[in-house]
Amino acid sequence: IAARHLGNLNTMEGVELVGVADPANGRAAEYASRYGGRPYEDWRAMLEIERPDAVYLCVPPYVHGDIEDTLIAARIPFFVEKPLATDAALPERLAERIDATGLLTSVGYHWRYLDTIERASALVAACRPRLALGYWLDFVPSPPWWIRRCYSGGQVVDQTTHIYDLARYLLGEPTLVYSAACGDGLTRYPGCDIDSVCATTLQFETGALGVITSTCLVHYPHRIGLWLYAQDLIVACCEHSLRIETPAGEEVHEPQADPYLLEDRAFIRAVQTGDRGSIRVPYAEALRTHRLIMRVLEATRQGRPLALTRDGRAS
């Protein structure tokens, strides 16, 4: 994901990449040779020497914390990829500091920048779906840390969070969550302790019901997206298409712009001008999705439904 953002930033007028930090052997040098800037193994040294106007954080879930604290203290705007962390407490603490300083932030829930999702949002406003079925049915990613809960948080935290965020965006805030998970099945991965399957039922403030399922047991991206059902209407929201079915027939729409590029442009424009109006997911908004994910995990552990307040906290 870092390379994708770097490629986008490299095309923008008024943007100069001054440094890339990565402890992995040679990766920072590879990125720097391709996109510009100086390579660093230590991000602290990069910040001290380069004094950047803004920073992108494209780090594994378990790395969050010290970097954000340093950027907040230095009042450096940052774009951070989801998830915000593997636990509940860290993002809450960081959000308080961000709010107190008024720091400019953006979080990489890029589905919200899809023009197809804008079209879906207009349909939802007019037709009020009563049922949502969400899926992230995929394979185990390659990083070895991903199969450890303490490093990735598990699939719901690291991947399916996009679907939960989209459900919030289109249907409003959940008021009730129940979830169950299964931890076996990934027998080819020694040391694996994440859930291989999770099924969650949500009730939204609109009265709509949702079921969101996750698995990393399959060998390819089998189904990833959110299906919405209203009277005489089916809306299937996927990253690369929007399918609309009515009694009159079927329409398929493809995104006309790269959502990663749009979110990068929105952040850079805000850094350059101070206008934050195009940023669709500042840290405080991403925190609401993270709270929901944490409640899903808590409901799984407790084995009972949990009521939620409108800001995503347990009631």
Domain with residue 148: its CATH number is 3.30.360.10
Residue 312 resides in a domain = no
Shared domain for 17 and 88, answered yes or no, is yes
Shared domain for 157 and 295, answered yes or no, is yes
Residue 200 resides in a domain = yes
Tokens of 137: 């049915």
Q: Which domain holds residue 101?
A: 2-110+262-283
AA identity, residue 93:
R
Residue 197 forms beta bridges with which residues? Answer: 182, 215
Shared domain for 159 and 204, answered yes or no, is yes
Crossing angle (nearest 10°) for helices 161-171 and 283-302: 110
**Sequence-ordered list of residues with C-beta below 8 angstroms from that of 86, at least 6 positions apart, any chain:** 61, 62, 149, 150, 151, 152, 153, 157
Residue 313 resides in a domain = no
How far is 60 from 57, CA to CA, in rounded Å? 9
Shared domain for 22 and 170, answered yes or no, is no
| Confidence band of 314 (pLDDT split at 50, 70, 90) | low
Shared domain for 80 and 64, answered yes or no, is yes
Reported as a single tens digit per residue, the pLDDT across 31-72 is 999 999 999 999 999 999 999 999 999 999 999 999 999 999
Shared domain for 186 and 141, answered yes or no, is yes
Domain count for the chain: 2
By the 8 A CB rule, do 76 and 65 touch? no
Shared domain for 160 and 296, answered yes or no, is yes
Residue 314 resides in a domain = no
How far is 135 from 163, CA to CA, in rounded Å? 7
**Widest CA span in the chain:** 62
Q: Comparing C-alpha atoms, which of 90, 30, 83 is closest to residue 60?
A: 83
- pLDDT for the residue 315: 66
Shared domain for 146 and 229, answered yes or no, is yes
Shared domain for 291 and 276, answered yes or no, is no
- pLDDT for the residue 215: 98
Average the pLDDT over 196-208 and give the result. Answer: 97
Reported as a single tens digit per residue, the pLDDT across 270-294 is 999 999 999 999 999 999 999 999 9
Helix (H, G, I), strand (E, B) or coil at 204: strand
Residue 301 resides in a domain = yes
Average the pLDDT over 170-180 and give the result. Answer: 97
Residue 70 resides in a domain = yes
Residue owning tokens 């850094």:
271
Query: What's the N-to-C CA distance of the chain in angstroms?
Result: 36
Residue 25 pLDDT > 80, yes or no?
no
